[in-house]
Every structure is written in structure tokens, then in C-alpha cells.
């Protein structure tokens, strides 16, 4: 008797003919249970205008922002009133803390080491060490607004146990031991575009390195911070230029730090979707969609990308490789200027002409097809 025969002989009953109704991911159920607004879009025009509601877990107003493909990383926005503070929390997922606006401090506590205070301001970036307890407080006279990009969806779906994720006593001593200079805003150049630091005081003023392979005048650095596996990079490109179209895996949160312009997003063979951005806009290109950034303003455009992969010293590949991990990236996932649709350049030139901005990008020498 075969296994199938034995199973049928035992009788599967009515269950064998029923259709299986797949439940929602654990993270989705947890998120909605938290009782704060959940925004689902791949573009937010202004992080300062996202409407919030009281979140008991953190003790301040907050909202979830689910951009494209929020199954690995997603974001939450917190607002701390003047003189106020969040509740102390810890969790088994990594998080970036980007200060959209405001000044304040974050208290970091971990069993067995002395506590530390991290001072921050508008456009600061840091990451609390994994499962260390942290508490944000506002030291300014205006509300402080924070964007936190986390890999909570991946973590909560993996363990599907809230107590394990938020009430776990394990200490990651290999990541953090209370070092006095852990959050000093100095940086170490590991190699060309690769930087190690655990605190960036102002991302808009941070050091960048030339990356001409991505476009005319482009400059970028990839950040290694707090032993995170989720990645971050900062990039900029000059007035009158645009970057080469490229694609990668999901969950890259692109936060505009300076400038104005637009980005084109499209799935191979599909329709193009355009987003117009300015300071404090954030968007996330869907998984393996091409995207291309255009500077139409009168100043250098700079953005911060917080994403599911790309940590230089702790790579964790999920989906397609990124440009810092695959030598064939440009050939497979980037459209070189000479291979792009000539209509791209013409459209950009026309946009600049209407705004009175001089084009700096020479017309590509297109290949014959």
C-alpha cells in the first residue's frame, strides 16, 4: 500500500475537499491590532503632513507607513511633543531612526553596561543596537517628528510571537557593549564609498564619494551602522542632471533630504509611474521595478535610502543583489545612458526649460538598435 492509499484508507473526511483560506501575515494582524493609522502607498509627498494617532506601545502619536512590498521592511512615524518622551521599548528587529524635524535625545540601556544618551537634531540618523532598550525624548520647543524604518515585518512573520519579539531578555554583546564612543559622530572610511559610523549628525552635510557609474556628478556612500543587516546609503546628483535607471529588490525607502525633482518607476514592459518629490518626500520603488531620478531644481538633490539589504559588513541577501554586492549588477539591472529611450532625455530637457534651469547632462551617444 502506498502512502497515498494509506492516507485515503484512513479517510480524510470533508477537509480534503475544502479550499484553504490563507490567513493574513502575522505582521499585518499585529500592525492593525496596534490601533494607529496604517497608510499604504509607494509615495508620501511630505512626512510632516502624515496624520497620526496615539500609540500606546510608544506613548506618543504615530502611524505606520507601508510603502511598496512591506513584507521585509516598513516604516513608522512618531511625533513627540515638546518636553515629552516615548515609552522605553526594546525589540528583536533592527530599526533606523531618522529625525525628520526636531531636537532631542535617545536614552540607550542594555543589561550589564552603563546607559548612554544620544543627542540628535533635524536630519540625524542612527540605529539603536538590536534588542537594547531605548527611549526618545524631545528637548526642543516644537514637536519632534521621527521616521523609523525597520525589518519588523520579516521578524514578526518569522517568529509569529509578539512576546518573543518585544519581551526577549537576550543581550547581543557582539553588537554593543556600552562603548563610550559608540555614538560619537565620527566616521571611518572602510573603502571608497563604504563608511562605518553609528551616528550621523546631519545626513544632508555628510561626506560622499564620487560614483560616476551611476550618473554624471553622482556621489554616494553606503553606511555600516550599529552592526545592522538592513542597509542605508546617501546619494546626491547635481543641478540639471539625472541618474541612470536601475532596479533591485524590495523595501528601499528613499527619503528626499534636499532639492526637488521627480522619479520614474516602471516594471519591465509595464507603464511608467511618476512621483514628484521635494524635501521630506519618501517613496519606495516596488520590487524589481526600474526607477530613475531627475533633478529639476536649482540645488543639488540629495536623498537617504533605508532598505532591507546593503549593509556593507553584515550582508544579508534578500531578493536581487544590490550594486555593492554583484559585479554584474550594471549589466543585468542598470540601463546605461546610451541604451535608454531617447525620449527620456528630451522630456528632461523640456522640464528644465520650463523651469528656467540649464541642463548640464550631455545628450547620450545612443547605440544603434
Helix (H, G, I), strand (E, B) or coil at 324: coil
Dist CA 299 CA 236 (whole Å): 10
Contact 30, 38 (CB under 8 A): no
pLDDT at 347: 96
Helix (H, G, I), strand (E, B) or coil at 259: coil
Dist CA 186 CA 197 (whole Å): 6
From the list 240, 52, 265, 220, the residue with the least C-alpha distance to 144 is 52
Q: Please name the residues in contact with 208: beta carbons below 8 A apart, sequence gap of 6 or more.
A: 219, 220, 221, 234, 235, 236
Beta bridge partners of 122: none
pLDDT at 330: 58
Q: Based on the number of CB atoms within 10 Å of its own CB, is 357 exposed (0-12), middle (13-18) or buried (19 or more)?
A: middle
pTM of the model: 0.92
Contact 313, 326 (CB under 8 A): no
pLDDT at 103: 98
What domains appear along the chain, each with residue ranges and CATH number?
Answer: 26-166 (2.60.120.10), 188-355 (2.60.120.10)
pLDDT at 123: 98
Contact 62, 36 (CB under 8 A): yes
Residues of the chain with pLDDT under 50: 4, 7
Amino acid at each position: 500500500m502506498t502512502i497515498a492509499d494509506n492516507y485515503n484508507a484512513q479517510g480524510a473526511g470533508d477537509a480534503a475537499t475544502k479550499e484553504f483560506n490563507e490567513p493574513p501575515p502575522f505582521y499585518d494582524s499585529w500592525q492593525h491590532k496596534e490601533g494607529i493609522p496604517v497608510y499604504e502607498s509607494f509615495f508620501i509627498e511630505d512626512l510632516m503632513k502624515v496624520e497620526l494617532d496615539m500609540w500606546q506601545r510608544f506613548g506618543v502619536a504615530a502611524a505606520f507607513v507601508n510603502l511598496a512590498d512591506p513584507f521585509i521592511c516598513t516604516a513608522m512615524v512618531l511625533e513627540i511633543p515638546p518636553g515629552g518622551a516615548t515609552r522605553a521599548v526594546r525589540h528583536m528587529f533592527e530599526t533606523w531612526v531618522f529625525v525628520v524635524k526636531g531636537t532631542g535625545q535617545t536614552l540607550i540601556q542594555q543589561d550589564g553596561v552603563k546607559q548612554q544618551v544620544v543627542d540628535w537634531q533635524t536630519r540625524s540618523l542612527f540605529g539603536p543596537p538590536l534588542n537594547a532598550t531605548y527611549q526618545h525624548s524631545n528637548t526642543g520647543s516644537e514637536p519632534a517628528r521621527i521616521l523609523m524604518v525597520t525589518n519588523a515585518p520579516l521578524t514578526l512573520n518569522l517568529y509569529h510571537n509578539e512576546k518573543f519579539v518585544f519581551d526577549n531578555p537576550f543581550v547581543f554583546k557582539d553588537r554593543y557593549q556600552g562603548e563610550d564612543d559608540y555614538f560619537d559622530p565620527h566616521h571611518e572610511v572602510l573603502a571608497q564609498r563604504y563608511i562605518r559610523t553609528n551616528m550621523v549628525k546631519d545626513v544632508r552635510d555628510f561626506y560622499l564619494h564620487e560614483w560616476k557609474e551611476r550618473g554624471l556628478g553622482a556621489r554616494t556612500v553606503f553606511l555600516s551602522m550599529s552592526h545592522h543587516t538592513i542597509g542605508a546609503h546617501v546619494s546626491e546628483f547635481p543641478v540639471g542632471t539625472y541618474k541612470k535607471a536601475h532596479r533591485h529588490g524590495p523595501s528601499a525607502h528613499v527619503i528626499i533630504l534636499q532639492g526637488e525633482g521627480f522619479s520614474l518607476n516602471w516594471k519591465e514592459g509595464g507603464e511608467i509611474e511618476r512621483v514628484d518629490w521635494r524635501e521630506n518626500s519618501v517613496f519606495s520603488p516596488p520590487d524589481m521595478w526600474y526607477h530613475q531620478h531627475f533633478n529639476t531644481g536649482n540645488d543639488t538633490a540629495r536623498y537617504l535610502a533605508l532598505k532591507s539589504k546593503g549593509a556593507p559588513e553584515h550582508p544579508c541577501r534578500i531578493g536581487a543583489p544590490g550594486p555593492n554586492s554583484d559585479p554584474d549588477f550594471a549589466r543585468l539591472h542598470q540601463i546605461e545612458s546610451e541604451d535608454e529611450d531617447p525620449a527620456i532625455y528630451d522630456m528632461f530637457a523640456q522640464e528644465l526649460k520650463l523651469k528656467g534651469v540649464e541642463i548640464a547632462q550631455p545628450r547620450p551617444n545612443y547605440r544603434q538598435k
